[in-house]
Amino acid sequence: MARLQQRMAEIIPAMRDEIRSLVKEHGNKVIDQVTIGQVYGGMRGIKALTCDTSEVPPEKGLIIRGIPIKELTGRLPEEIFWLLCTGELPSKGDLEDLQQDLRKRSRVPQYVWDVLEAMPPDSHPMAMFDTAILVMERESVFRKRYTEGMKKDEYWAPTLEDSLDLLAKLPGIAAGVYRLRFKKGDRINADTNLDWAGNYAHMLGISDKPEFKDLMRLYMVLHSDHEGGNVSAHTCHCVASALSDAYYSVSAGLNGLAGPLHGLANQECLGWILMVVEKFKGAPSDEDLRKFAWDTLNSGKVIPGYGHAVLRITDPRFDAFLAFGKQHMPEDPIYQTVAKVFDIVPKVLTEQGKAKDPWPNVDAASGCLLYHYGMTEFDYYTVLFSVSRAMGMCSQLVVSRAWGEPIERPKSLPTAKFKNLALK
Ligand code: CMX
């Protein structure tokens, strides 16, 4: 047994006991109330889901297993996956063992490429990526073991197997989608000396610069998880609660990430920045930018990359990307514009007084860094996000299976009944 599986087997019994006794002792405790506004408002803020892998307090931003994301930016994504699953950072030996395990599982079956090559050439990269995941469902160890008859307290182990098989292949698939969809030439073979994200950067074939690999490592760490209620995590969770395997569940979650209100927003941010750079032939003056921001607002549009449904501070993931840009591309007018927008736009949004959060979110900087290294195909950006977010989804899945979460079934009512409740 590899070390991650071994460590999970050690910690799961205590985790199960903790949850069982919480429910047994306090199962009837009322912890929230629900308003009609919340029912019709995307269920915002209702405390009704569990997620032990990460948390997003509005005044702090992403915290993974108790560690603020800004303390994790120098780590490898493999270390983050271990942390998400176990609640601990891996030792050097643990990390090497996991990396070795992922390498062994990384070969993408030929039938995946056959399916992708048969898709219409204008297919969206996200449709291609999700199709590749779904077509591999036949590999599921969980489904095989379940069909053979497996005890409930064993469910987590084949779920972890499926997760590792899937995560190991995602960089190769995602890089293959990039090269096929954007006609970049043959697929590039993996370099077995590289880590998971470094290898992804290598197989994309965009830039040989070592810092592009570092950017991929950082990108994969920063987007890995964002608690349980966002569309992709919640969708994955809900599908998996029916005991659908990781291939079905992760693919379903990523179909949600493909939406413009979720993972697709990053391309709109870069579009706005490029518009500014083009209009002012480089980074604008403070006054020009202020006026441009007001023009955007006065035309009824939002300033992409600013504001958040939960956060009320500058997203620490934005800070990490901005610091990367400052270190590696301080002279790039696109980076300079991103930095200037950070200076000016929060003041403009505060003056306007509508947005609850005038601060930048993660999307305000990520696209500019990718663009700098030559990844100019905006449509692809959500695939990068997906490779990373699959770590969060898989770890949430393993944890849910480990404590034996039941099938989700919240109650719905017709509007007529809500009206009656409102008038009571
Ligand atoms: N520019 C202009 N107006 C904004 C704004 C922005 N960046 N952010 C919020 N507002 C406006 C809203 O449109 C809303 O206006 P109306 O009352 O006229 O409808 C008002 O301020 C209040 O909105 P809010 O409660 O502060 O924000 P929401 O929770 O409704 O929406 C979000 C959050 C992210 C969709 C919104 O801030 C937005 O549209 N931002 C720009 C797009 C963007 O960056 N999306 C990426 C999100 C990243 C992520 O979710 O991870």
Q: Report if residue 292 sits inside a domain.
A: yes
Name the residue with the closest Cα to ligand 1, atom 13. 302
Whether 355 lines ligand 1, by a CB cut-off of 6 Å, is yes
308 carries an active-site annotation: yes
Residue 348 in tokens: 């403009």
- Residue 335: inside a domain, yes or no? yes
Residue with tokens 């084949």: 158
pLDDT the model gives residue 206: 96
Alpha helical stretches, state H, 136-191? 141-148, 156-181
The CA distances from residue 252 to 127, 183, 187, in Å, are: 11, 27, 26
328 is catalytic: no
Residue 3: which pLDDT band, with cuts at 50, 70 and 90?
very high
**Ligand 1, atom 32, residue with closest C-alpha:** 308
Has residue 106 been placed in a domain? no
Mean pLDDT of 143-159: 97
Per the residue annotation, which of 262, 288, 328, 332 is the catalytic one? 262
Asked whether residue 323 is assigned to any structural domain, the reply reads yes
Q: Is residue 145 domain-resident? A: no
Residue 23 alpha carbon to ligand 1 centre in Å:
37
Q: Is the pLDDT of residue 309 over 90?
A: no
* 22 belongs to a structural domain: no
Nearest residue (by CA) to ligand 1, atom 12, is: 355
- Respond yes or no: is residue 262 known to be catalytic: yes
The pLDDT assigned to 266 comes to 81
User: How far apart are the two ends of the chain, measured CA to CA in Å?
Assistant: 59
What sign results for the dihedral spanned by CA atoms 6, 234, 62, 48? Answer: negative
Nearest-angstrom CA–CA distance, 47 and 50: 8
Q: How far is the CA of 346 from the centre of ligand 1 (A)?
A: 13
Query: Residue 269: which domain range?
Result: 265-372
In a domain, residue 365? The reply is yes
Q: What is the pLDDT of residues 361-403, one digit of tens each?
A: 999 999 999 999 999 998 999 999 999 999 999 999 999 999 9
Among 272, 308, 349, 352, the mutation site with the greatest number of ligand 1 atoms within 8 A of its Cβ is 308
Which of 318, 354, 363, 382 to probe ligand 1 with, by most ligand atoms within 8 A of CB? 354
* CATH number of 322's domain: 1.10.230.10
Give the C-alpha distances (Å, rounded to integers) separating 177 from 83, 277, 336.
Answer: 29, 30, 31
Domain count, the chain: 1
The tokens for 187 are 């697929």
Quote the pTM value. Answer: 0.95
In angstroms, the Cα distances linking 157 to 4, 9, 78, 235, 396 are 11, 8, 18, 21, 13
Between helices 210-222 and 316-328, what is the axis angle to 10°?
170
Q: In this structure, is residue 410 part of a structural domain?
A: no
